[in-house]
C-alpha cells in the first residue's frame, strides 16, 4: 500500500461547508454549455429542457456531467423502465426486490441470499481481460455491500464463432480475466453458460452473476439516513480511469473504436477487492455505518445521489477531500471517475474513527468527504466552493423514460416461417450429424473454461460447473443454494417472447434437476439500440415472455441490469435476456447429479418428444442455418415437471437427472453417459425411442419440458407412480450399461452405436482443440 496516504490531522476532519446557499458558478477552464456539448453528453434537447426546469438555471459543466451519467441508459433505464415495471417482483420470500445493489431472498434457517447479475459487454469488447475482470469486481461489490459474503459466481458468456481469431482473442481474454479476478478474491465459480454464434461476432455478451449469504439481521442497504451522518470514501484511490464509462456503455461501438476507447478502460485490482470485501463485512458487523454502496458506474455521482435519493435526504461532499491517484483532477473527473474497488459509506456521526480503524487493519483508506443533509440536494464543493447543487430525487428518479412503439423486422418473421422440414436429412448421415452436434462448441464441454476458475475454494461447492446448476452449501448447515444462468440467444432471436419464456423455464428446470426449489431470478437484458423499432419490439416481447413465465413459475424478479446498444456498425447482437435463477435445497445430501451411475439402472424420459428443430444447434452445426419457430413453452407442464422432480429428489428416488436443451436428446444422453472429465467414470447406455418422428427431429429437437432421469431398477415403479401423480408423461427409454460400453440408440428407423472414446474426444476435445491450435 502507498506510504504517502493522507490522514486527517487528529481524529475528525473539519466539517464540509461552504458559505450558505451559494449557487455553483462555472469553474475557471470549464467549457461553455453549448448545444454541441449537451449533445456530446448524450442528452437530447428535450432532456436538456427538463434539466433547465429542474435547475431553474443553466447547469454548470460539472452538473451537466452528473446529469449525463445519471440519465444515461445504464443508470437511468430510460428506455426500459416502463416495461420493467410489468415484471412480477414480489413473493413472501422476497426480502429485497429491484432498486437496491442486489436482490435478497429468504432461504430459511435465518439465512438470506443476496444475488445479482450484471453486464460488462462494452468494456469486454474493447479490452476483454480487464473488461471481464472488472465485471466480476463490480458484481461482487454489489453483493457484499448488502452485508452478504459472496459465496459463488456464475458467468453467462456469448461470443461469435471460434473460427475467427478475434473471437478467440476475446474468448480467452474474457475467461482469463474472470478467472484471475475471482480466483484471487477466493470466490468459487459454480457455473454459467458459454455460447458461440455469429450473432455475437463483434459484440460479446459478458454477464457476471454473484450469490452472497448472510444472516437475515445483517442486511444493510445503500441509504444515506440520518442528517449529520458522515460520508466516507473507502478503498482504492480515485484516478482518471473510466470517466464516462456509464455513458460509454450506453453507446453503440463503431469500427476502429478499439484504440480511441482504451483510456476509458478500468483496471481491476482483485487483491484490493479482497481487502475491501473483508473490511466491508467487518464494517457492517461493527455497527459503525448506516449505509454502504459501491462506486460503480458513474462512481461517486451515482452512489452519492442514489443513497440520498433512496432515503429522501441530501448529501454534500467536497471533491478536494477525495483521495486521488493523480494530480490536478477536476470535480467533473472526480465525480465521474469509475476507478475500481471503491465504496461510499455513511458512517454514524462520531464513529468515523471506528471506520478508519477497521479500514487501516485491512491496509485501506477511509476519508471523510462530506455528510448527510436535509436539503434533498446532491451538493458538491471543491475546497469549499460550490460546483454542483442538484435536487437528488429528480436526478435519480426523474430521468425521462420512453416507451416508443416497436415493430418486428420482417426478416425475422420470414426466418420464423422457414419450414425446417427442408433440413431433415443430414448431408453426411445421422451418425456424422450426431457427432457434429455433440462436438459443436456450443454443445460440447466447457471444461476448458471452468477449469480456469477456482470451483472448490471455501469447501462448500456441492455441485461444481458441468452439471445442470451449481449448488453451494450454506456454511455450517445442510442447506444449499442452487444457481444457473440461461439464455438461448438463437431462440430469442427467432421469437423473443417464446425464447425469453423458454429461458426462464429452462433455468427453473435446471435448478429443479438438482433437487432445489426455484425461488427467484435476476436478469440481464442484452439488446441492440432501443432507438430502433425492431429492437424495441424484441425488448418488449422478451419482457412479456419473462413476465408470463416468472409469474407462472412463481420466481419473481429481484433486480438485474439492462444493456442496450450491443451493436457494431448497425449490426445488433441476438436479443439476449439472460436469466440468473436461484433455488434452495433443504439437504445437500439430496442433490441429484447429471451423470448416469450404475449398470442396470433404468433410464426414463419425463415429458414429451415433439421434435421441434427451429433455432436448434442441429440446424446451426449441420446446415449452418438459424431459422424456424423456436420450441414452444408449456408453463403448466413445466411446473408439474419441476414439482415432480423435487418430490423425487426429496425421497432420493433418482440416481441422475439431466435437462434436455441445446443439442436435444443426443447431447443430454452423451453428457449423462460421460459424466465429469478427469475423475468421473463413464458408462454406456442402451436406448430405444419409439416416437413417430423423423430421426433428426427426435434426436436433436430442443423441445422444452423434458428431463432424462435414471433410477435403480427397484425404484422404477415408484418413479412411474410419482410422475403419474404429478401428471408428467414418463417413458422408459433404456438402461445404463457397463463402464466404457457404447451408447446405443435405436429409433424406429435407425440404429446408432457410438463408442464412448469417440464421444469423449468430441465432447471434451472440441474447445481445447480449437484453442490450442490457435496458440
Residue 183 near another protein by CB under 8 A: yes
Of 39 and 326, the one with the shorter C-beta distance to another protein is 326
738 φ, ψ (degrees, to nearest 5): -75, 170
Residue 184 near another protein by CB under 8 A: yes
Of 371 and 473, the one with the shorter C-beta distance to another protein is 473
Q: Which of 270, 556, 577, 663 binds another protein (CB under 8 A)?
A: 270
- 243: which residues sit within 8 A by CB, 6+ positions away? 264, 333, 336, 337, 338
**Residue 745 and residue 331: Cα distance in Å, rounded?**
68
Smallest separation, CB 455 to another protein (Å): 5
Residue 510 near another protein by CB under 8 A: no
- Count the site residues for another protein by CB under 8 A: 35
Of 63 and 180, the one with the shorter C-beta distance to another protein is 180
Residue 446 near another protein by CB under 8 A: no
Of 174-182, 191-199, 348-356, 711-719, the segment contacting another protein by CB under 8 A is: 174-182
What single string gives the DSSP state of each residue in 336-367?
A: H---SSEEEEEEPTT-HHHHHHHHHHTT-EEE
Smallest separation, CB 177 to another protein (Å): 11
Strands 189-196 and 149-159: parallel
Residue 588 near another protein by CB under 8 A: yes
In order of 163, 540, 645, 676, 703, the CA distances from 632 in angstroms are 31, 18, 21, 31, 7
Print the binding letters for residues 204-243 with another protein: x by CB under 8 A, - otherwise. ----------------------------------------
Of 649 and 697, the one with the shorter C-beta distance to another protein is 649
Q: Enumerate residues 704-763 that contact another protein by CB under 8 A.
A: none
Of 251 and 454, the one with the shorter C-beta distance to another protein is 454
Q: Which of 23, 414, 428, 456 binds another protein (CB under 8 A)?
A: 456
Of 179 and 323, the one with the shorter C-beta distance to another protein is 179
Of 9-17, 75-83, 182-190, 311-319, the segment contacting another protein by CB under 8 A is: 182-190
Residue 679 near another protein by CB under 8 A: yes
Smallest separation, CB 127 to another protein (Å): 19
Short-list 576, 524, 563, CA closest to 252: 563
Q: Which of 462, 550, 585, 756 binds another protein (CB under 8 A)?
A: 462
3-state secondary structure of 613: coil
Place of cell 431470478: 521
Of 159 and 450, the one with the shorter C-beta distance to another protein is 450
- 498: which residues sit within 8 A by CB, 6+ positions away? 491, 545, 629, 630, 631, 632, 633
The cell numbers describing 639, all together, are 411446473
Enumerate helices (H) and strands (E) in the chain, giving the number of each: 27, 28
Catalytic residues: 74, 120
The cell numbers describing 330, all together, are 477536476
**Residue 438 and residue 669: Cα distance in Å, rounded?**
10
Q: Which of 275, 635, 711, 722 binds another protein (CB under 8 A)?
A: 275
The b/e string for 151-177 (b: 16+ C-beta within 10 A; e otherwise) is: bbbbbbbbbbbbebeebbebbbbbbeb
Of 40 and 282, the one with the shorter C-beta distance to another protein is 282
Of 314-322, 328-336, 504-512, 671-679, the segment contacting another protein by CB under 8 A is: 671-679
Residues 525, 562 contacting (CB under 8 angstroms): yes
Q: Which of 403, 451, 554, 761 binds another protein (CB under 8 A)?
A: 451
Of 165 and 350, the one with the shorter C-beta distance to another protein is 165
Residues 583, 482 contacting (CB under 8 angstroms): yes
Q: Which of 83, 114, 140, 185 binds another protein (CB under 8 A)?
A: 185
Of 362 and 552, the one with the shorter C-beta distance to another protein is 362
Of 159-167, 446-454, 486-494, 525-533, the segment contacting another protein by CB under 8 A is: 446-454
Smallest separation, CB 270 to another protein (Å): 7
Q: Enumerate residues 345-384 that contact another protein by CB under 8 A.
A: 362-363
Both ends of the chain: CA-CA distance in Å?
A: 37
Short-list 450, 468, 719, 695, CA closest to 605: 719
**Residue 146 and residue 292: Cα distance in Å, rounded?**
8
Of 445 and 616, the one with the shorter C-beta distance to another protein is 445
255 φ, ψ (degrees, to nearest 5): -50, 135
Place of cell 450426431: 434
Strands 111-119 and 205-215: antiparallel
Smallest separation, CB 169 to another protein (Å): 12
Of 34-42, 88-96, 304-312, 457-465, the segment contacting another protein by CB under 8 A is: 457-465
Q: Which of 33, 54, 457, 647 binds another protein (CB under 8 A)?
A: 457
Smallest separation, CB 456 to another protein (Å): 4
Residue 180 near another protein by CB under 8 A: yes
Q: Which of 123, 128, 160, 179 binds another protein (CB under 8 A)?
A: 179
Residues 662, 443 contacting (CB under 8 angstroms): yes
In order of 54, 309, 312, 368, 482, the CA distances from 377 in angstroms are 11, 9, 9, 19, 42
Smallest separation, CB 667 to another protein (Å): 22
Of 56 and 775, the one with the shorter C-beta distance to another protein is 775
Residue 340 near another protein by CB under 8 A: no
**Residue 502 and residue 507: Cα distance in Å, rounded?**
8
Q: Enumerate residues 591-610 that contact another protein by CB under 8 A.
A: none
- 679: which residues sit within 8 A by CB, 6+ positions away? none
- 506: which residues sit within 8 A by CB, 6+ positions away? 486, 488, 659, 661, 704
SS3 letters across 259-296? HHHHHHCCCCCHHHHHHHHHHHHHHHHHCCEEEEEECC
Smallest separation, CB 152 to another protein (Å): 14
Residue 426 near another protein by CB under 8 A: no
Residue 453 near another protein by CB under 8 A: yes
Residue 198 near another protein by CB under 8 A: no
- 338: which residues sit within 8 A by CB, 6+ positions away? 241, 242, 243, 245, 246, 266, 295, 296, 297, 298, 299
Residue 3 near another protein by CB under 8 A: no
- 606: which residues sit within 8 A by CB, 6+ positions away? 641, 644, 645, 706, 707, 708, 709, 723, 728, 729, 730
Print the binding letters for residues 630-669 with another protein: x by CB under 8 A, - otherwise. ----------------------------------------
Smallest separation, CB 289 to another protein (Å): 21
Residue 169 near another protein by CB under 8 A: no
Residue 286 near another protein by CB under 8 A: no
Short-list 489, 527, 525, 521, CA closest to 507: 521
- Angle between helix 45-55 and helix 61-70 axes, rounded to 10 deg: 120
Of 418 and 452, the one with the shorter C-beta distance to another protein is 452
Residues 62, 27 contacting (CB under 8 angstroms): yes
Residue 468 near another protein by CB under 8 A: no
Query: Which residues bind to another protein, rule: CB under 8 A?
Result: 176, 179-180, 183-186, 269-272, 274-275, 362-363, 450-462, 473, 588-589, 677-679, 775
Amino acid at each position: 500500500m502507498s506510504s504517502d496516504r493522507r490522514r486527517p490531522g487528529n481524529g475528525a476532519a473539519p466539517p464540509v461547508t461552504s458559505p450558505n446557499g451559494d449557487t455553483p458558478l462555472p469553474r475557471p477552464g470549464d467549457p461553455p454549455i453549448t448545444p454541441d456539448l449537451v449533445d456530446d453528453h448524450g442528452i437530447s434537447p428535450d432532456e436538456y429542457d427538463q434539466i433547465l426546469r429542474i435547475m431553474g438555471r443553466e447547469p454548470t459543466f460539472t452538473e451537466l456531467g452528473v446529469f449525463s451519467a445519471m440519465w444515461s441508459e445504464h443508470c437511468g433505464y430510460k428506455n426500459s423502465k416502463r416495461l420493467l415495471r410489468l415484471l412480477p417482483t414480489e413473493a413472501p420470500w422476497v426480502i429485497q426486490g429491484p432498486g437496491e445493489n442486489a436482490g435478497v431472498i429468504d432461504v430459511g434457517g435465518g439465512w438470506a441470499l443476496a444475488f445479482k447479475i450484471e453486464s460488462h459487454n462494452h468494456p469486454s469488447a474493447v479490452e476483454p481481460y480487464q473488461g471481464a475482470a472488472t465485471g466480476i469486481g463490480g458484481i461482487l461489490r454489489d453483493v457484499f455491500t448488502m452485508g452478504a459474503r459472496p459465496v459463488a459466481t456464475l458467468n453467462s458468456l456469448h461470443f461469435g464463432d471460434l473460427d475467427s481469431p478475434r473471437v478467440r482473442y476475446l474468448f480467452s481474454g474474457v475467461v482469463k480475466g474472470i478467472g484471475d479476478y475471482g480466483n484471487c478474491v477466493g470466490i468459487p465459480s459454480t457455473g454459467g453458460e458459454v455460447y458461440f454464434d455469429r450473432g455475437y461476432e463483434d459484440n460479446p455478451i459478458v454477464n457476471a452473476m454473484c450469490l452472497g449469504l448472510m444472516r437475515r439481521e445483517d442486511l444493510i442497504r445503500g441509504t444515506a439516513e440520518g442528517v449529520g451522518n458522515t460520508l466516507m470514501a473507502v478503498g482504492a484511490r480515485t484516478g482518471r480511469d473510466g470517466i464516462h464509462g456509464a455513458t460509454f456503455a450506453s453507446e453503440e461501438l463503431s469500427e476502429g473504436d478499439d484504440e480511441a476507447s482504451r483510456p476509458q478502460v478500468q483496471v481491476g485490482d482483485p487483491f484490493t477487492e479482497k481487502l475491501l470485501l473483508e473490511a466491508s463485512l467487518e464494517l457492517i458487523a461493527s455497527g459503525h455505518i448506516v449505509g454502504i454502496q459501491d462506486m460503480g458506474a458513474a462512481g461517486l455521482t451515482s452512489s452519492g445521489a442514489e443513497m440520498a435519493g433512496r432515503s429522501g435526504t441530501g448529501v454534500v461532499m467536497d471533491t478536494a477531500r477525495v483521495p486521488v491517484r493523480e494530480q490536478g483532477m477536476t470535480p467533473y473527473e472526480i465525480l465521474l471517475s469509475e476507478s475500481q474497488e471503491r465504496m461510499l459509506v455513511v458512517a454514524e456521526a462520531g464513529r468515523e474513527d471506528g471506520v478508519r480503524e477497521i479500514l487501516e487493519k485491512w491496509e485501506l483508506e477511509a476519508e471523510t468527504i462530506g455528510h448527510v443533509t436535509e436539503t434533498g440536494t446532491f451538493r458538491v464543493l471543491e475546497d469549499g466552493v460550490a460546483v454542483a447543487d442538484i435536487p437528488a430525487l429528480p436526478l435519480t428518479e426523474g430521468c425521462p423514460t420512453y416507451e416508443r412503439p416497436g415493430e418486428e423486422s420482417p426478416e425475422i418473421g420470414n426466418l420464423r416461417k422457414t419450414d425446417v422440414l427442408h433440413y431433415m436429412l443430414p448431408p453426411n448421415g445421422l451418425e456424422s450429424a450426431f457427432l457434429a452436434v455433440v462436438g459443436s462448441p456450443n454443445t460440447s464441454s466447457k471444461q476448458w473454461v471452468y477449469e480456469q476458475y477456482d470451483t472448490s475454494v471455501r469447501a462448500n461447492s456441492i455441485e461444481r460447473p458441468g452439471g445442470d446448476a451449481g449448488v453451494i452449501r450454506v456454511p455450517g448447515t445442510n442447506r444449499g443454494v442452487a444457481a444457473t444462468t440461461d439464455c438461448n440467444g438463437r431462440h430469442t432471436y427467432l421469437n423473443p417472447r417464446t425464447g425469453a419464456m423458454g429461458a426462464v423455464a429452462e433455468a427453473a428446470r435446471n435448478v429443479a434437476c438438482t433437487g432445489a426449489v426455484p425461488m427467484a431470478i435476476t436478469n440481464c437484458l442484452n439488446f441492440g439500440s432501443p432507438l430502433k423499432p425492431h429492437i424495441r419490439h424484441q425488448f418488449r416481447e422478451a419482457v412479456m415472455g419473462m413476465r408470463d413465465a416468472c409469474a407462472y413459475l412463481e420466481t419473481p424478479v429481484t433486480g438485474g441490469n439492462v444493456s442496450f446498444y450491443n451493436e457494431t456498425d448497425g449490426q445488433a447482437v441476438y436479443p439476449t435476456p439472460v436469466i440468473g435463477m436461484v433455488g434452495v435445497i433443504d439437504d445437500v445430501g439430496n442433490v441429484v447429479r447429471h451423470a448416469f451411475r450404475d449398470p442396470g439402472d433404468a433410464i426414463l424420459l419425463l415429458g414429451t418428444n415433439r421434435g421441434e428443430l427451429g433455432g436448434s444447434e442441429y440446424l446451426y452445426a449441420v446446415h449452418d442455418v438459424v431459422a424456424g419457430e423456436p420450441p414452444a413453452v408449456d408453463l403448466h407442464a413445466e411446473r408439474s415437471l419441476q414439482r415432480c422432480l423435487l418430490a423425487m429428489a426429496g425421497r432420493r428416488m433418482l440416481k441422475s437427472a439431466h435437462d434436455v436443451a441445446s443439442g436435444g436428446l443426443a447431447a443430454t444422453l452423451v453428457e449423462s453417459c460421460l459424466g465429469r472429465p478427469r475423475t468421473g467414470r463413464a458408462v454406456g447406455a442402451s436406448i430405444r425411442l419409439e416416437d413417430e418422428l423423423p430421426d433428426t427431429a427426435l434426436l436433436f429437437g430442443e423441445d422444452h419440458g423434458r428431463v432424462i432421469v435414471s433410477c435403480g431398477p427397484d425404484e422404477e415403479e415408484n418413479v412411474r407412480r410419482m410422475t403419474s401423480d404429478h401428471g408428467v408423461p414418463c417413458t422408459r427409454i433404456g438402461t445404463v450399461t457397463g463402464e466404457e460400453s457404447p451408447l446405443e440408440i435405436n429409433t424406429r428407423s435407425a440404429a446408432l452405436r457410438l463408442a464412448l472414446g469417440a464421444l469423449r474426444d468430441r465432447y471434451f476435445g472440441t474447445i481445447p482443440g480449437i484453442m490450442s491450435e490457435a496458440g
